[in-house]
A and B are shown apart, each in its own frame.
Chain A
């Protein structure tokens, strides 16, 4: 599934559509977004180097890690920078985001260290992170410097939107991201977000701007207010090594697909396991949703709020459910089934044949006067056809017509203290 994210970013934007945008979000309980971000970045960059992607260059906007972190990362993946530094540029918003070093250098004896040759050839220091318009221009300029003008596209990686949101209002950040997405030279864009640093609405704004949302959640939820006990410690230990990885794809037509994997964090890197196996602690508590299936929006919502019941039925439960006769099925039982399968024209003929002289009644929800004489006076409790071998169900239905009618001049809400 992590592969499908990388594929989506690699394939890039369709003509006349916005560029695919990915939010990678995490929380303090499962803080592995940077590892996922690094994984996606190195995968995308190797596709760019191999010429397999739509984009021909990558601009990394680094806020929370130094440019050398990314260069080391790519070097460890076997990238040869002698030939490839024409395909990556880093906008360094990490080293001096507010221009403090610049100010200090101007006012006193302050000598900033000179960067390594490699860093200085691929990274450009940006000192005005509060100005989103300037940031936008710098990103586009860097990208155009990589791929030139025209129709050749490039990709953008922003290593945390959190820092941007600390320096600028949500609206400016949203405008910047939206403008980047809709720029006709952008192939794909992805960013990192620590969701617990922001209000839910801010996270929602960024998710609306993305076509793919990858979120990391802890494998085991900690009980609130019970910090410090040993049970929690063992959960923390579990959560420090692995987490749940959910990906939500939004298609152009609005269809949403949710998939889930498990991530394992190892010294060597990050591993994705396709079949999530629930730990013993959570078993039976979490919804057993079949991931990888196409879920409807409602299903997805149910899943997101973590409903605490089964969404699937066992075989026995399924049979029991099938045996429950719903209140409106009590008459014209055959008819109900027939109507589902027979065209209307032939229905009349079939009814005549089946009726065999006796009238078949179609229940219309009202109580007929004839029936009422033969029925029990309290309520119409429908008999249910039961099969002795199977379980049975019964729904007791009180018709509206059996309700006690209020006296004509009596206010039914009289007893309410309004």
Chain B
């Protein structure tokens, strides 16, 4: 088998043909997962593809969830060295674990919180050569923790995301976010969550199997691409240094 292991995910996202120019440019990608089925492996996979040695793509990673060492360890197993990429100015890591936005509307000032973060992202992209702008991916891990940092103000987070979306039209870069579906499940109208689905051009849902947990299949991914009316669905198994994707019933890679 000469094919790359995660061929189905790459195929669904159009990453199997060319990696440069970055196929996700100008797009907003929303990854949604659930507590039984983590979707963070999709983020790792996209970082790996973005930092592929054959390309000059740039990743801006905004981490609310884990420290740099965590991602470094995982990506190393996948065959990608984040430290060297950071030194080469292809990987920018913003550690937001301790971000605490000021409370109330009066606290929303350019000096702190998400406005300052937006300013930093904007500045980072503007400093890059113009030819690289469309190869930039802004990755946010994850939105629910960003909401926590914003003192639960989902409107403030949505404002921030709106400004990040303007970057995708201004620089033709891409925005990739991870969010958890089930934390909104008790709400009658999960506005924040639905708003994110409207913002997204590509929606990737990681869900458990309808039949429950299985050893050979860890879950299923549904990738919907708006505009192209393309929807793909396949199963996956997350291994130590690779993610296997396969159609239902073909878990042995037959």
Residues of A near any B CB (own CB < 8 A): 28, 31, 66, 68-69, 94-98, 100, 103-104, 106-111, 113, 162-163, 166, 194, 196-199, 226-230, 233, 236-237, 240-241, 265-267
Q: A199 to B194, alpha carbons, bound, how many Å?
A: 13
Determine the chain A residues whose CB is within 8 A of the CB of B78 once the complex forms: none
Quick check: A97 and B194 within 8 Å, CB to CB? no
The answer for the CA separation of A104 and B194 in the assembled complex, in Å, is 29
Asked if residues A100 and B228 are in contact (CB atoms below 8 Å), the reply is no
29 residue pairs from A and B, CB less than 8 Å apart: A28-B194, A28-B197, A31-B226, A66-B170, A94-B169, A95-B166, A100-B115, A100-B159, A100-B163, A103-B110, A103-B115, A106-B110, A110-B123, A162-B195, A162-B198, A163-B162, A166-B158, A194-B198, A196-B189, A197-B189, A228-B207, A228-B220, A233-B233, A236-B224, A237-B231, A240-B224, A240-B230, A240-B231, A267-B228
Closest A residue by C-beta to B162: A97
Residue positions of B touching A, CB distance < 8 A: 109-111, 115, 118-119, 122-123, 126, 155, 158-159, 162-163, 166, 169-171, 189, 191, 194-195, 197-198, 207-210, 220, 222, 224, 226-231, 233, 248
Which of B110, B159, B166, B170 gathers most chain A CB within 10 Å? B110
A108 and B229 CA atoms in complex are apart in Å by 43
B87 to chain A, nearest CB (A): 24
A267: which of B122, B209, B210, B227 is its contact (CB, 8 Å)?
B227
In chain B, what residue has the closest Cβ to A166? B155
Of B197, B207, B224, B231, the most chain A CB neighbours within 10 A belong to B231
Chain A residue with Cβ nearest B160: A100
Q: How far is the CB of A230 from chain B (nearest CB, A)?
A: 7
Q: What distance in Å separates the Cβ of B166 from its nearest Cβ neighbour in chain A?
A: 6
Shortest CB–CB separation between residue B232 and chain A, in angstroms?
Answer: 9
Partner of A66, one of B110, B159, B166, B227: B166
Partner of A107, one of B111, B159, B169: B111
Which of chain A's residues has its CB closest to B155's CB? A166
Instruction: Take A110-B123, A240-B231 as given contacts and tell me if A197 and B115 are in contact as well, using a CB distance cutoff of 8 Å.
Output: no
Q: How far, in whole Å, are A109 and B127 apart by their CA atoms in the complex?
A: 11
Q: Which residues of B contact A113 (CB under 8 A)?
A: 126, 170-171
A98 with B159, Cβ < 8 A, contacts A228-B207, A233-B233 known:
yes
Q: Which residues of B contact A108 (CB under 8 A)?
A: 110, 119
Look across to chain A and name the residue whose beta carbon is closest to the beta carbon of B115. Answer: A100
The 4 closest A-B pairs by CB, nearest first: A229-B210, A66-B169, A228-B207, A103-B110
Known pairs A31-B226, A107-B111; list 14 more (Cβ under 8 Å).
Answer: A66-B166, A66-B169, A68-B169, A100-B115, A103-B109, A104-B110, A108-B110, A110-B122, A110-B123, A166-B158, A194-B198, A197-B191, A227-B210, A265-B229
User: Quick one: which of A104, A107, A241 has the most chain B CB within 10 A?
Assistant: A104
Task: State which of B170, B197, B209, B229 has its C-beta within 8 Å of the C-beta of A240.
Answer: B229
CA distance A183 to B223 in the complex (A): 46
CB of A232 to closest CB in B, whole Å:
8
- Knowing A28-B198, A236-B231 are in contact, say whether A199-B189 is a contact too (CB < 8 A): yes
Chain A residue contacts of B169, Cβ below 8 A: 66, 68-69, 94
A residues near B207, Cβ cutoff 8 Å: 227-228
Given known contacts A66-B169, A103-B110, A236-B224, A226 and B210 CB-to-CB distance under 8 angstroms: yes
Within 8 Å CB of B224, what residues of A? Answer: 236, 240
Cα distance, A156 to B162, chains bound together (Å): 23
Inter-chain contact A241/B229, CB cutoff 8 Å: yes
A100-B115, A197-B189 known; A228 vs B209 contact (CB < 8 Å): yes
How far is B220's CA from A196's CA once the two chains are assembled, in angstroms? Answer: 26
Closest A residue to B163 using CB positions: A100
How many Å from the CB of B162 to the closest CB on chain A? 7
CA distance A236 to B126 in the complex (A): 39
In angstroms, how far is the closest chain A Cβ from the Cβ of B158? 7
Return chain B residues, CB-CB under 8 Å to A97: 159, 162
Check A194–B194 contact: CB distance below 8 A: yes
Q: Which residue of A has the minimal Cβ distance to B198?
A: A194
- Chain A residue nearest to B228 in the complex (CB): A267
Q: Which of A111, A226, A228, A229 contacts B126 (CB 8 A)?
A: A111
Contact indicator B197/A94 (Cβ below 8 Å)? no
Considering the chains assembled together, what is the distance between the CA atoms of A265 and B229 in angstroms? 7
Residues of B within 8 A of A109 (CB): 123
Min CB distance A209 to B, Å, is 21
- Complex contacts, A104 vs chain B, CB 8 Å: 110, 115, 118-119, 122
Give the distance in Å from the alpha carbon of A260 to the alpha carbon of B210 in the complex.
35
When distances are taken between beta carbons in the complex, the residues of chain A under 8 Å from B159 are 97-98, 100
What residues of A have a CB within 8 angstroms of the CB of B210 in the complex?
A: 226-230
Q: For B162, list chain A residues within 8 Å (CB).
A: 97, 163
When distances are taken between beta carbons in the complex, the residues of chain A under 8 Å from B119 are 104, 108, 110
Please give the distance in Å from A96's CB to the nearest CB on chain B.
8
Nearest residue (CB) in B for A26 is B198
> Which residues from B are CB-within-8-Å of A31?
197-198, 226
Q: Which of A68, A100, A198, A226 contacts B110 (CB 8 A)?
A: A100
A242, chain B: closest CB distance, angstroms: 9
Output the nearest chain B residue to A100 by Cβ-Cβ distance: B115
- Whole-angstrom CA separation of A194 from B158 in the bound complex: 15
